A and B are shown apart, each in its own frame.
Chain A
Amino acid sequence: MSLAYSDNEMMAISAGRFIKNGDIVFAGTGVSMLAATAAKRIYAPKAVVFFETGGIDPSLDEIPMAVSDLRVMSGTCLNSGLIEAFSIVGHRKLHTIAFLGAAQIDKYGNLNTTSIGDYHRPKTRFSGSGGACDVASFASGVITFMQHEKRRFVEKLDYLTSVGWYKGGNSRQELGLTRGGALAVVTNLGVMRFDEKTKEMYLAEYYPGVTVEKIKENTGFEIDVSRAKEAIPPTEEELMILRNEVDPQRLICKA
């Protein structure tokens, strides 16, 4: 009998499982912070977590609530600034995995974090690119966290802030973005990946208790589900580390 777990916990663990020793992990806020910390504590102790603000390999004894949090500057090997951080994201010698979040995503993993509606007079304005466009341009791979809803998984983005596989096929490469691209999308329902050739999103894993039908209903474009498998639920050990070591105040785990 396994323990009950929250959506954020399942998402953090699903994303954390992608991280390997030696990876340089770029973390954002929220679940992404949880996933980066969990990855380091559970799966890849030799991975390095760093932040666009310039904090490199912090001890993460407490979970940061923002990428500029004092907690990303504590126990680091080096505290620097934005330009240094972006020289790491795109560095030719490093394998960098970036965690991002977005308001909208399309089938090629392009992201919108800018606005909904007319750009100049939007219905809803979001924070903007921040470093998202930059890491989407330069990192070796991007894992995006999304709430799985039809209005978020859209045929056409209202604004393309960060490039994934652009228009599919070789189009990203042709833009001049010579590496990287969308690696996976982790939602509250499952894990999506991208076809090697077409670069279109497909369902790779659905969480225990979630049906493939439900995922199709909540995706605003046709999604290939022929390769879908049920995800392995979080183990007791994974959950215990997440709750007791990564986020003991339950600041992010809870939701």
Chain B
Amino acid sequence: MTNKMEIADKLMSLEEAVKKFIKNGSQIALGGFTVMRNPMALAYEIIRQGIKDLHIVCHSHGQALDVLIGAGCVKRLEIAYGGAGRYAPTCIRFKKAIQNGEIEFEDYSNYQMSLRFLAGALNIPFIPTKSGLGSDLLNYEGFSKEVRKERKVAPKKFEIMQNPFIEEKDEVVLLPALNPDVTLIHAQYVGEDGTVRIKGLTFADIEQAKAADYVIVTCEEIVPRSYIRLDPDQNSLPPFFVDAIVKVPYGAHPTGCFAFYDYDPKHLNMYREYANDDNKFKEYLERWVYGVKTHEEYLNKVGTEMLIKIKANPIIGYAVGLDRR
């Protein structure tokens, strides 16, 4: 056996990780993408702890974002896309919250948000792109002047600048960097040395992690140092970027986790039905979030039958033949 002591000070429970790093008003970056590797167990714990006024920053997000908005944890949002694939082409509680004027929001594109995280990771104040020229992304500001004065909010949404290297007209869009208070990531593996391995697509998780002040990683498995260092080409983050590690098998359910489990079509369809109705949504939260103390209890409710159905073929990466209607 290898020595677990290396990460002893970082290993903690969901409850401890959320208590230690997430406060009312924190700016949180969500890892994953629409229906994949959402940090669901962390989102549920944030809701249980009654954390309020979060400022969420993400590119395309789905389930974790929607549950957090629906539970009233989110005050402010910078986002490119809120959707859960075919199960909710537009995230339902996200849609309602914007239509009812319940959250402050600012629209960017996926590439723009990814670049803003990259700029934050590189510790540069802004980053140029050509994306967005001519779009209403550059004609409408979502945040008011008052909001623009607040902590972690850029004083301007963007700036357009002439390319300083040439004489002819050549404009670029400058985007402000993002440095979230905390980035939440669900990964397949963390080594006993703290090295993180994300399998499948990494989305912008690595940029989001490097941009943040603190990083919480939940993972499917903690594996020996010798294993994670046998093939370092496969690794995603070195140990020193990670502040808290929580082992949470099925921690992304009902979203998927490559080579471990597929998204849960039954749960996502059921969620859509409950999220569409304010009262039923309260029932959903009661049953799946407030009514369970731990993620194990939550998984008991999902049931063995479904957990087996969504189990991924570890070689192919997904659950072959899963009924996804």
Residues on A lying within 8 angstroms of B by beta carbon are: 29-30, 52-55, 62, 65-75, 79-83, 86, 90, 114-115, 119-134, 136-138, 159-163, 166, 172, 175-177, 249, 251
Question: Is the beta-carbon distance between A119 and B140 smaller than 8 angstroms?
Answer: yes
List B contacts of A166 (CB < 8 A).
134
Cα of A115 to Cα of B34 in the assembled complex, Å:
19
List B contacts of A138 (CB < 8 A).
130-131
The residue in chain A whose Cβ has the minimal distance to the Cβ of B261 is A70
23 A-B residue pairs with CB within 8 Å: A30-B86, A54-B202, A65-B85, A66-B34, A66-B35, A69-B85, A73-B317, A75-B316, A80-B202, A82-B59, A82-B114, A82-B203, A83-B204, A120-B140, A120-B142, A125-B94, A125-B98, A127-B83, A127-B91, A131-B80, A163-B133, A172-B134, A176-B169
Q: Which of A128, A133, A249, A251 contacts B132 (CB 8 A)?
A: A133
Distance to closest chain A CB from B323 (angstroms): 8
Cα of A197 to Cα of B135 in the assembled complex, Å:
22
Interface residues of B in 45-91 (CB under 8 A from A): 59-60, 79-87, 89-91
Cα of A124 to Cα of B35 in the assembled complex, Å:
22
Distance to closest chain B CB from A137 (angstroms): 5
Q: Which of B80, B140, B172, B325 contacts A251 (CB 8 A)?
A: B325
Query: If A81-B205, A161-B136 touch, does A134 touch B111 (CB 8 Å cutoff)?
Result: yes
Q: Which of A70, A86, A132, A159 contacts B318 (CB 8 A)?
A: A70
DSSP class of A's interface residues: helix, strand, loop or mixed?
A: loop
Residues on B lying within 8 angstroms of A by beta carbon are: 32-36, 59-60, 79-87, 89-91, 94-95, 98-99, 101, 107-112, 114-115, 118, 130-137, 139-140, 142, 169-172, 200-207, 256, 258, 262-263, 312, 316-318, 320-321, 323-325
Query: If A130-B81, A166-B134 touch, does A70 touch B110 (CB 8 Å cutoff)?
Result: no
DSSP class of B's interface residues: helix, strand, loop or mixed?
A: loop
Distance to closest chain A CB from B64 (angstroms): 13
Distance to closest chain A CB from B26 (angstroms): 23
Give 9 nearest A-B pairs by CB, closest first: A66-B85, A130-B81, A70-B318, A68-B36, A68-B33, A134-B111, A127-B83, A73-B200, A133-B109
Distance to closest chain A CB from B61 (angstroms): 10
Question: Is the beta-carbon distance between A55 and B81 smaller than 8 angstroms?
Answer: no
Cα of A172 to Cα of B87 in the assembled complex, Å:
35
The residue in chain A whose Cβ has the minimal distance to the Cβ of B37 is A68
Find the residue from A65, A72, A79, A124 having the highest chain B CB count within 10 A. Answer: A65
The residue in chain B whose Cβ has the minimal distance to the Cβ of A163 is B134
List A contacts of B325 (CB < 8 A).
249, 251
Cα of A86 to Cα of B65 in the assembled complex, Å:
24
Distance to closest chain B CB from A214 (angstroms): 26
Query: If A70-B258, A80-B202 touch, does A130 touch B83 (CB 8 Å cutoff)?
Result: yes
List B contacts of A62 (CB < 8 A).
318, 320-321
Cα of A112 to Cα of B252 in the assembled complex, Å:
31
Question: Is the beta-carbon distance between B320 and A159 smaller than 8 angstroms?
Answer: no
Distance to closest chain A CB from B113 (angstroms): 8
Distance to closest chain A CB from B133 (angstroms): 5
Cα of A249 to Cα of B263 in the assembled complex, Å:
17
Distance to closest chain B CB from A45 (angstroms): 22
List B contacts of A122 (CB < 8 A).
98-99
Distance to closest chain A CB from B36 (angstroms): 4
Question: Is the beta-carbon distance between B201 and A177 smaller than 8 angstroms?
Answer: no
Q: Which of B79, B85, B137 contacts A133 (CB 8 A)?
A: B137
Distance to closest chain A CB from B149 (angstroms): 18
Question: Is the beta-carbon distance between B118 and A83 smaller than 8 angstroms?
Answer: yes
Cα of A82 to Cα of B34 in the assembled complex, Å:
13
Query: If A73-B317, A134-B131 touch, does A127 touch B89 (CB 8 Å cutoff)?
Result: yes
Find the residue from A70, A119, A129, A166 having the highest chain B CB count within 10 A. Answer: A70
Question: Is the beta-carbon distance between B201 and A54 smaller than 8 angstroms?
Answer: yes
Question: Is the beta-carbon distance between B140 and A66 smaller than 8 angstroms?
Answer: no
Distance to closest chain B CB from A109 (angstroms): 12
Distance to closest chain A CB from B252 (angstroms): 11
List B contacts of A175 (CB < 8 A).
133-134, 171
9 other contacts beyond A81-B203, A130-B83, A131-B81, with CB at 8 A cut-off? A65-B86, A70-B318, A81-B114, A124-B99, A126-B95, A130-B60, A131-B110, A137-B132, A251-B324
List A contacts of B79 (CB < 8 A).
128
Cα of A166 to Cα of B84 in the assembled complex, Å:
29
List A contacts of B35 (CB < 8 A).
65-66, 68-69
Question: Is the beta-carbon distance between B130 and A53 smaller than 8 angstroms?
Answer: no
List A contacts of B36 (CB < 8 A).
53, 66, 68-70
List A contacts of B202 (CB < 8 A).
54, 79-81
Question: Is the beta-carbon distance between B60 and A68 smaller than 8 angstroms?
Answer: yes
Cα of A114 to Cα of B115 in the assembled complex, Å:
20
List A contacts of B318 (CB < 8 A).
62, 69-71, 74
The residue in chain A whose Cβ has the minimal distance to the Cβ of B236 is A81
Question: Is the beta-carbon distance between A133 and B200 smaller than 8 angstroms?
Answer: no
List A contacts of B101 (CB < 8 A).
120-121
List A contacts of B110 (CB < 8 A).
52, 82, 86, 129-131, 134
Question: Is the beta-carbon distance between B81 and A68 smaller than 8 angstroms?
Answer: no
Question: Is the beta-carbon distance between B84 and A66 smaller than 8 angstroms?
Answer: yes
